[in-house]
Amino acid sequence: MQQDQKKDINTVLEAFNQLAPYLKQLFEDDVTLSVTDKDKYLKILHSPSIKVSVKDGDKLPAGSASTQAIVQGKTMSMVIDKEIVGIDLRSIDVPVKDEIGNVIGTIGIAKNLNRQREVYNLANSLSASLRQITDGISHVAAGVQDLVSSNKELLQYTDDAKNDTKNTDEVITFIKNVAGQTNLLGLNAAIEAARAGELGRGFSVVAEEIRKLSSSSNESISQINAILQRVQTQVTLIGQGIHKANSVVEEQAAAIEEITASIQELNATANILENMAEKL
């Protein structure tokens, strides 16, 4: 029985020795290949990038992937920390069975995880950076939305101010009418004073003052009307400026939403990449 088992192992070893150079070409990464019986390493093909002290004939370490594959009778994968062998490794061992299904040894590989760690770290860094960018853009987007709301309020205020200045036209018209009537009253008073002669001299002074008041009122009304016209023009220009600014801000808000959506897609991709790198 032992001779048959040894023969099976030797057959596997011989096949491994013949195929090993070709097997290494199947891996893009630099790997170490090994074949074992149930107790020791029978053959190891070392990788230049994986400096381990294990050699042909060394006993299998307790708890190694090879030992676990022999005990459990199934493929075992195990990450070996760099504190143990100097670099991060992933060891994958497959149990070799005889014709009746008994485990007689293992065939395994050990690959350097440095590249995978670098990919994982880059993916993790990318994911973190994208999250920061997303947070920053979200903050900017919130500010833009606040600006849009503020512009709409300002626009409403300018519309109200424009309407108020238009309403003053009625007041000015009324004051003009009063001034006109006052002037007419002063003119009539002057006529009556002239008719009264010497007796109407005092009344004539009053009539003159009334006419001066009417003239002064007309001048003030003209000045007020000019000021209100300028205010109305300026309010209109301010409203147009706010309209234009609001349109630009709304376009920027829409662009920020598109950028945010794109970054969220990139963030999801980075998370997928991070998960994939972790499983390498």
Per-residue pLDDT, 137: 77
Q: How many CB atoms lie within 10 A of CB 36?
A: 29
Instruction: For residues 33 and 169, give the distance between their C-alpha atoms in angstroms, rounded to a whole number.
Output: 97
Average pLDDT over every residue of 205-232 = 70
What residues does 108 pair with on adjacent strands? 34, 93
pLDDT of amino acid 198: 63
CB 104 within 8 A of CB 37: yes
Unique residue bearing structure tokens 């920061």: 132
- Please give the pLDDT value at position 238: 76
Which range has highest mean pLDDT (100-109, 110-119, 124-133)? Answer: 100-109
CATH assignment, 119-279: 1.10.287.950
If one compares 1 and 88, the residue with the highest pLDDT of the two is: 88
Q: Which residue would you say has higher pLDDT here, 270 or 94?
A: 94
User: Residue 94 belongs to what H/E stretch?
Assistant: strand 89-97
75 is written with which tokens? 């493929």
CA–CA separation, 34 and 50 (whole Å): 13
Sheet containing 89-97: which strands, arranged edge to edge?
41-45, 31-36, 103-112, 89-97, 76-80
Nearest to 269 by CA among 139, 113, 122, 115: 122
CATH 1.10.287.950 domain range(s) in the chain: 119-279
Mean pLDDT of the 81-108 span? 83
Tell me the H-state helices in 25-113.
65-72, 82-85
**So what's the pLDDT on residue 1?**
53
* Buried b / exposed e along 53-63 (16+ C-beta atoms within 10 A): ebeeeeebeee
Angle value at C-alpha 126, between 125 and 132, nearest 5 degrees: 90
Higher local confidence (pLDDT), 37 or 277: 37
> What is the pLDDT averaged over residues 31-36?
86
Residue 196 pLDDT exceeds 70: no
pLDDT of residue 224 exceeding 70, the answer is yes
State the Cα–Cα distance between residues 105 and 39, nearest whole angstrom. 8
How far, CA to CA in Å, does 185 sit from each of 153, 180, 253? Answer: 48, 8, 64
- Residue 79 and residue 63: Cα distance in Å, rounded? 12
Lowest-pLDDT range, 44-48, 84-88, 128-132, 191-195?
191-195
Helix, strand counts (H, E) of the chain: 5, 5
Per-residue pLDDT at 229 exceeds 60: yes
Q: With contact defined as beta carbons under 8 Å apart, do 35 and 8 qualify?
A: no
Residue 74 predicted with pLDDT over 90: yes
CB 216 within 8 A of CB 97: no
Instruction: Report, as an integer, the average pLDDT of 91-98.
Output: 89
Q: Tell me what the mean pLDDT of segment 177-184 comes to.
A: 65
The ranges of the chain annotated as CATH 3.30.450.20 are 2-112
Q: What is the mean pLDDT of residues 130-153?
A: 77
Q: Is 3.30.450.20 the CATH classification of the domain at 2-112?
A: yes
